[in-house]
Amino acid sequence: MKLVFLGPPGAGKGTLAVLVTEAYSIPHISTGEIFRAAIREKTPLGLKVQAIIDAGQLVSDDTTIELVKERLAKSDAKKGFILDGFPRTIPQAEALAEIVDIDSAVNFDIDDELVVKRLSGRRVCKTCSQNYHVDFMPPKVEGKCDKCGSDLIIREDDKIEAITKRLEVYRKQTEPLIGFYREKNKLTDVDASPSSGTVFESFQKLFPQK
């Protein structure tokens, strides 16, 4: 099962990817994971990426595509994978199509208002990095970590202004991929607004294990 996960930040792609990875025994491959693994393994591409990052520059499409190709050639991805964070653009999707024929692009459909609620409610302990949510997973004492008692903070990424900006970037750059895959009859829409357990049940019905 070769899948691409699409959806805005806060749609729950990462949470579902963990559940799918465990149930279907296929790797969850994120762009960040690809970069870190290549750097850690000191592959020629990994060394190139390290130099780009050290110089404070962005990794180009061509290099990212080569890294994805290198990662998908590994043995654990032979029977399937979840690609998360790639492709982000139409040119990347076209390049991916030349590397592998995916089974489906799974579009996690969710309203912007719910995304803002999910992300803006997140809190993290400034000392031990334990995560909380004011609505879904609140601490026992407001503003304090259950584990170490330190103050909980709002990450810069989780402030309303930052969330709005991230959504704008997503809609502009990545949402066209939905149309791209729909035209190729490779798009599967999943309602991402319920709980992760309910979303996973929907996923299992759409992609029954063989």
Catalytic residue IDs: 13, 88, 122, 155, 166
| Rounded CA separation 33/46 (Å) | 12
91, 75, 69: which is closest to 83 by C-alpha? 69
**What residue type is 136 in one-letter code?**
F
Given a contact cutoff of 8 angstroms between Cβ atoms, the answer to whether 130 and 145 are in contact is yes
Tokens 């296929």 belong to residue? 26
CA pair distance 108, 190, nearest whole angstrom: 5
Confirm if 88 and 8 have CB atoms less than 8 A apart: no
For residue 44, whether the previous peptide bond is cis, meaning omega lies within 30 degrees of 0, is: no
129: left (phi over 0), alpha (psi -120 to 50) or beta: left
d(CA 130, CA 147): 8
List CB contacts of 189: < 8 A, sequence separation 6 or more.
107, 109
